[in-house]
Amino acid sequence: MLFWTVFASYGLEWALSRVLSAETMRGRMERAHRRNARRLATGFSRLRGVFIKMGQVLSVMGTFLPTAYGEELEQLQDHVPPRPFSEIAGRLQEAFGDDALSLFASFDKEPIAAASLAQVHRATTLDGRKLAVKVLYPGIERLIQRDLAVLRSLLPVAKRLFPISRVERNLDQLEAMLSRETDYTHERDNIRRMRRIFEARNDVLIPEVVDELTRGGVLAMSFEEGIKVTDLEAQRAHGIDPESVARLLVEAYFVMLFDHGIFHADPHPGNFLVREGPQLVVLDYGAVEEVTQALADGMKTVVLGVLTRNDDQILTGLERMGFVAEGGDRELLKKVGREYLRALGGIRIDDFSKIDRNVVEKLTGYQQIRGQLRQVMKSVEYPEGYFYVERTLALLFGLIGQLAPKTGLPGLVLPHASKVFARGLVMVRPKPAPEAPPAR
């Protein structure tokens, strides 16, 4: 009903566009976007599960969406209501039996964090070690399958409204991501993999899995203390320069991407803590993705094209990434790219933590496709794997903007990018998956 209400709202505006002036319709459409974005934010929060996750994704992946959607859906990034402990106890009993809590010296019933699929509780082991215990919501697997079926039923309508070639790839990749995020064997292996990547460094810290208390939908890890990455006042009070934290975060991503071919695909502020040094504590490994060689090479080519203001090179990079649909209008895309470069040249950002709506629209390229949206969409398809890359880049852009408002992500990336391009670094392919843990 939620989606049909939104579709009907736009259907009414489309009908009115036949009789009202273009100027009147611009104002009506802006109000319709805001109204429908709020409907989705409220509805997704009520429906929970997949819909909260989808709202989070849409809030940072709105390249083809009006800015109202990103602004309204952003609330789903932080404000996810927790489940009562009676539900969580059911998952613990499912994993460890009726006397599950006897395996812990203590287990706090109030969660320290709640997300769309699970929540985290503090606990201690019988020998006194502090734990963070991530518990998957009971029945979430069935709920995901039901919700995905609803979304797939809406695909024919969505494809008519947004005629991007292979738009169903977004839903396929969302389904794959949710499957991995509800598989704690997968997350445990991701944690071990990341610990190996950063084992020689003392400035990037990864939690340690407690195997004997990890089973089914329960993942127990060492509890890591630290300052929330967006609490700049607390960082400065401890003698930590937030911009040095931003530099460390960008460096960690370059190590993941270009040395190991993988990346943490959920750089949400709640997933990072900071300690003196600075040291960066990285949490939540449900979304760790591999980057394909085509995406890596294409991204480098696009960045070089932007730096050299070469629209041909940008289009070549987009083609390598898989963005240009078969039979797509390359000249139209080149024209849009040229207009986008011109718009970028006029952007001056003094504070990346406070970017107004006009700048956001220029950065997303929305102004360049307005009026020719459907034609552009027909020439574009979503590359395999870009779902995760775009989400990660958008989240990093916002987070780095808060930590280093004068420099922003572009300014911190350039020194690393220049080194990578200068030595023609070839991305190392991902290492094999870790061996299974010893039987308990």
Q: What is the pLDDT of residues 331-343, one digit of tens each?
A: 878 777 777 777 6
- Residue 428 phi, psi dihedral angles, 5° rounding: -75, 135
How far is residue 83's CA from residue 110's CA, in Å, rounded to a whole number? 9
Residue-wise pLDDT for 201-212, tens only, equals: 999 999 999 999
Q: What is the phi/psi pair of residue 186, to 5°?
A: -65, -45
Give the contacts of 185 (CB within 8 A, at least 6 positions apart). Answer: none
* pLDDT above 70: residue 274: yes
Domains in the chain: boundaries: 2-81+140-180
User: Count of CB atoms within 10 A of residue 48's CB?
Assistant: 18
Q: Which residues fall within 8 angstroms of residue 430, CB to CB, at 6 or more apart?
A: 260, 261, 262, 290
Instruction: Give bridge partners of residue 290 from the DSSP assignment.
Output: 262
What is the pLDDT confidence band of residue 439, given thresholds at 50, 70 and 90? very low
**Most confident of the following: 239-248, 364-373, 417-426:** 239-248
Mean pLDDT calculated for residue range 165-175: 70
pLDDT at residue 24 tops 90: no
CB 143 within 8 A of CB 300: no
95-to-67, 111, 115, 186, 406 alpha-carbon distances in Å: 43, 19, 20, 17, 48
- In this prediction, residues 265-274 reach a mean pLDDT of 89
DSSP string, 361-406: HHHHTHHHHTTSHHHHHHTBBPPTTHHHHHHHHHHHHHHHHHH-TT
| pLDDT per residue as tens digits for the range 370-406 | 556 566 667 777 777 777 787 788 788 888 988 999 9
Q: Which residues of 106-130 are buried (b: 16+ CB within 10 A; e: fewer)?
A: ebeeebebbbbbbbbbbbebeeeee
Q: Are 415 and 249 in contact (CB under 8 A)?
A: no
pLDDT tens, residue by residue, 152-162: 887 777 666 65
pTM of the model: 0.75
293 φ/ψ angles, rounded to the nearest 5 degrees = -60, -35
Residue 98 has pLDDT above 80, yes or no: yes
Distances (CA, A) of 121 to 110, 206, 218, 377: 7, 18, 11, 44
Average pLDDT over residues 151-179: 71
What residues are annotated to the active site? Answer: 266
